[in-house]
Chains A and B, each alone.
Chain A
Amino acid sequence: MSKRSVDRRNFLKGAAVTGAAALVPDAVASAAQGPAPAAAGQGQRPAAAPTSAREIDPRGEAEPLTTDRPGGDFMVDVLKSLNLEYVASNPGSSFRGIHESIINYGGNTMPEFITCCHEESSIAMAHAYFKVEGKPMAVLCHGTVGLQHAAMAIYNAYCDRVPVYIMAGNSLDATMRRPGVEWAHSVQDAAAIVRDFTKWDDNPVSLPHFAESAVRAYKIAMTPPMMPTLIVLDGGLQEDPIPSEVAARLRVPKLTLATPPQGDSGAVAEAARLLVNAQNPVIVADRLARTPAGMARLVELAEALQAPVIDQHGRMNFPSKHPLNLSESAGQLIANADVILGLELTDFWGTVNGFRDSLVRTSRSRIRPNTKLISITAVDLYTKSNFQDFQRYPEVDVAMAADAEATLPAITEAVKKLTTADRRTAFAERRTRLEQMHARARDAARAEAAIAWDASPISTARLAAELWAQIKTDDWSLVSESGNTSGWAFRLWDFEKSYQHLGDSGGAGVGYGAPAAVGGALANKKHGRLSVNIQGDGDFLYAPGVWWTAAHHQIPLLTVVHNNRAYHQEVMHIQRMANRHQRGITRAAIGTTITDPNVDFAKVAQGLGLYAEGPVSNPNDLGPALRRALAVVRKGQPALVDVVTQPR
Chain B
Amino acid sequence: MLIAALVLAGTVAGAQTQAPAGQAAPAAPPGNAETGKKLFVANGCYQCHGYEGQGGSAGARLAPRPLPWAALSRYVRRPANQMPPYTEKVLPDADLAHIYAYLQSRPAAAAPASIPLLQP
A residues with a Cβ closer than 8 A to B are 286, 312-314, 328-332, 334-335, 345-347, 350-351, 354-358, 366, 442-443, 446-453, 455, 457, 459-461, 465-466, 468-469, 483-484, 486-487, 492, 503-504, 506, 508, 568, 571-572, 575-576, 578-580, 582-583, 585-586, 588, 646-648
Q: Answer whether A586 and B10 are a contact pair too, CB < 8 Å, given A446-B118, A451-B52.
A: no
Q: In the complex, which of the residues A357, A447, A469, A582 contacts B90, with contact meaning CB atoms closer than 8 Å?
A: A582
Chain B positions within 8 Å of A313 at CB level: 1, 3
User: Which among A314, A356, A468, A486 has the greatest number of chain B C-beta atoms within 10 A?
Assistant: A486
Q: In the complex, which of the residues A356, A452, A647 contacts B58, with contact meaning CB atoms closer than 8 Å?
A: A647
Q: List 8 A-B contacts (CB under 8 A).
A: A350-B2, A356-B82, A449-B118, A469-B117, A576-B84, A579-B85, A579-B90, A647-B51
Q: In the complex, which of the residues B7, B44, B82, B120 contacts A575, with contact meaning CB atoms closer than 8 Å?
A: B44
Give min CB distance, A282 to chain B, whole Å.
12
B2 touches A351 (CB 8 A): yes
Q: Answer whether A451 and B54 are a contact pair too, CB < 8 Å, given A465-B118, A575-B44, A588-B47.
A: yes
Q: Answer whether A450 and B109 are a contact pair too, CB < 8 Å, given A335-B10, A588-B47.
A: yes
> Which residues of chain B (40-88) have a CB below 8 Å from chain A?
42-44, 46-48, 50-52, 54-59, 61, 63-64, 81-82, 84-87
Chain A positions within 8 Å of B2 at CB level: 286, 312, 345-347, 350-351
Q: In the complex, which of the residues A354, A469, A486, A503 contacts B5, with contact meaning CB atoms closer than 8 Å?
A: A486
Closest to B81 in A: A356
Chain B positions within 8 Å of A312 at CB level: 1-3, 6
Top 4 nearest A-B pairs by Cβ distance? Answer: A331-B9, A331-B10, A486-B56, A579-B84
A193 to B7, CA, bound (A): 35
Chain B positions within 8 Å of A484 at CB level: 57
Q: Answer whether A648 and B109 are a contact pair too, CB < 8 Å, given A351-B2, A446-B118, A460-B56.
A: no
A332 to B117, CA, bound (A): 29
Chain B positions within 8 Å of A447 at CB level: 109, 112
Chain B positions within 8 Å of A486 at CB level: 5, 56-58
Closest to B91 in A: A585
Q: Answer whether A450 and B56 are a contact pair too, CB < 8 Å, given A459-B50, A646-B51.
A: no
A576 to B5, CA, bound (A): 18
Judged by a CB distance under 8 angstroms, whether B35 is at the interface is no
C-beta contact mask, B1-41 vs A, less than 8 Å → 1, else 0? 11101111111010000000000000000000000000000
A312 to B47, CA, bound (A): 24
User: Which among B42, B46, B52 has the greatest number of chain A C-beta atoms within 10 A?
Assistant: B52
Give min CB distance, B2 to chain A, whole Å.
5
A312 to B1, CA, bound (A): 6
Give min CB distance, B68 to chain A, whole Å.
19
A466 to B116, CA, bound (A): 10
Chain A positions within 8 Å of B48 at CB level: 572, 647-648
Chain B positions within 8 Å of A568 at CB level: 47
B57 touches A446 (CB 8 A): no
Chain A positions within 8 Å of B86 at CB level: 579, 585
Chain B positions within 8 Å of A345 at CB level: 2
A449 to B115, CA, bound (A): 10
Give min CB distance, B77 to chain A, whole Å.
11
Chain B positions within 8 Å of A331 at CB level: 6, 8-11, 13
A568 to B54, CA, bound (A): 17
B58 touches A648 (CB 8 A): yes
B44 touches A588 (CB 8 A): yes
Closest to A287 in B: B1
A132 to B44, CA, bound (A): 39
A357 touches B50 (CB 8 A): no
12 more A-B contacts (CB under 8 A) besides A455-B51, A486-B57? A312-B3, A331-B9, A345-B2, A451-B64, A453-B110, A461-B54, A465-B117, A484-B57, A580-B84, A585-B86, A585-B91, A647-B47
C-beta contact mask, B96-113 vs A, less than 8 Å → 1, else 0? 000000000000011110
Q: In the complex, which of the residues A457, A459, A572, A582 contacts B87, with contact meaning CB atoms closer than 8 Å?
A: A582
User: Which among B9, B11, B85, B117 has the greatest number of chain A C-beta atoms within 10 A?
Assistant: B117
Q: In the complex, which of the residues B1, B43, B56 contacts A648, with contact meaning CB atoms closer than 8 Å?
A: B56
User: Which among B84, B85, B86 has the greatest number of chain A C-beta atoms within 10 A?
Assistant: B84
B52 touches A314 (CB 8 A): no
Q: In the complex, which of the residues A366, A466, A647 contacts B10, with contact meaning CB atoms closer than 8 Å?
A: A366
A588 to B109, CA, bound (A): 30
Chain B positions within 8 Å of A354 at CB level: 7, 10-11, 81
A457 touches B51 (CB 8 A): yes
Q: Answer whether A446 and B112 are a contact pair too, CB < 8 Å, given A465-B118, A648-B48.
A: yes
A185 to B81, CA, bound (A): 51
A459 to B82, CA, bound (A): 23
Chain B positions within 8 Å of A451 at CB level: 52, 54-55, 61, 63-64, 109
Give min CB distance, A293 to chain B, whole Å.
22
Chain A positions within 8 Å of B55 at CB level: 448, 451
A568 to B48, CA, bound (A): 10
Closest to A321 in B: B120
Chain B positions within 8 Å of A453 at CB level: 109-110, 115
Q: Answer whether A504 and B1 are a contact pair too, CB < 8 Å, given A330-B9, A459-B50, A588-B44.
A: yes
Q: In the complex, which of the residues A506, A576, A648 contacts B57, with contact meaning CB atoms closer than 8 Å?
A: A648
